[in-house]
Structure 1
Amino acid sequence: MSVKISDWVMATTNEDELIHGFVQSMDSRHGVARIYVIASDHDSAIGKVMEVAQQDMKKLPVATFDIEDQVKSLIDIALTTRDELWFMELTDTLFTLQQNGSNRSEREFMPTGYTNRLGVDQF
């Protein structure tokens, strides 16, 4: 599997926790990766860096985000992770979407319905 730093992945930990996040660092010699967790079936793992075996990871496909709410959610993640470059890219994308309008209507977007760490329901 060709996973590299900054790739978004889903993985299972040794404790059988399902986690979703991005690769923060890798140790190819030992076959492990450190993943910054943004979602998990165990709330205590969210916001932490978890170490998982590389064979237990699945790289997530790259998606385009053409709905303002999607980009705003990603901006929240960029702020949380203090990724200034990604924040700037996302704000440029948001500005373009606001100027040109979204490529898809909100009705085509399948809401996921979750509560972010700030306690605000997102749909």
Structure 2
Amino acid sequence: MMTNNKWQLEVGDWVKGKSENGELIRGYIETVNPLQGTVKVNVIACDNEKTIGKTIETLSKWVEKLPISVIDTEEQILHLIDLALLTKDEHWFMELSTKLNSIRQGSEGDRKKNTGDTTFGNRLGKYGIKE
């Protein structure tokens, strides 16, 4: 069983854990129900392919928040663009596309603009990627 501070989980947090059926899941939280101790997770990756793309409810103690990641390569951004398309997150897709274009242009001015605390949000507005 995974341990975690369930009261720290918030809508939009990226998490990994297991479903009530024992499937390994990765996704982001759509709703938190502290009274029942559950969260609804939009599943982005799972060892059961039929669960991918669905929102499932599981116990909050069975999931843990993923750390904020740094993205700095074109390949990483391309993977995130695929994820934005999969989740139909237009705003995040546009942010990532801008970042990708900046990297591809490779100009010194663009690189200077992209150093610092640039964050990207998923469709729920929670930021899961930080530079």
Structure 1: which amino acid aligns with 2:103?
Answer: L
User: Which among 90, 103, 118 is matched to residue 84 of structure 1?
Assistant: 90
CA-to-aligned-CA distance 1:1-60 (integer Å, 9 cap, x gap): 212111110011121111011111211221111111111111111111111111111111
Would the aligned equivalents of 2:25 and 2:43 in 1 still touch at CA under 8 Å? yes
Unmatched tracts of structure 2, length 5 or more: 112-131
Aligned to 1:12: 18
Unmatched tracts of structure 1, length 5 or more: 104-123
Identity %: 36
The answer to whether residue 66 in structure 2 is matched with residue 60 in structure 1 is: yes
Secondary structure of residue in 2 paired with 1:93: helix
Aligned-residue CA RMSD (Å)? 1.7
The answer to whether residue 29 in structure 2 is matched with residue 23 in structure 1 is: yes
**How many equivalent residue pairs?**
102
Structure 1: which amino acid aligns with 2:36?
Answer: H
Would the aligned equivalents of 2:17 and 2:26 in 1 still touch at CA under 8 Å? yes
Q: TM-score when scaled to structure 2?
A: 0.71
Deviation at 1:61, TM superposition (A): 0.5
Distance 1:79 1:39 in 2: 14
Q: TM-score when scaled to structure 1?
A: 0.75
Distance 1:77 1:88 in 2: 12
Would the aligned equivalents of 1:38 and 1:46 in 2 still touch at CA under 8 Å? yes
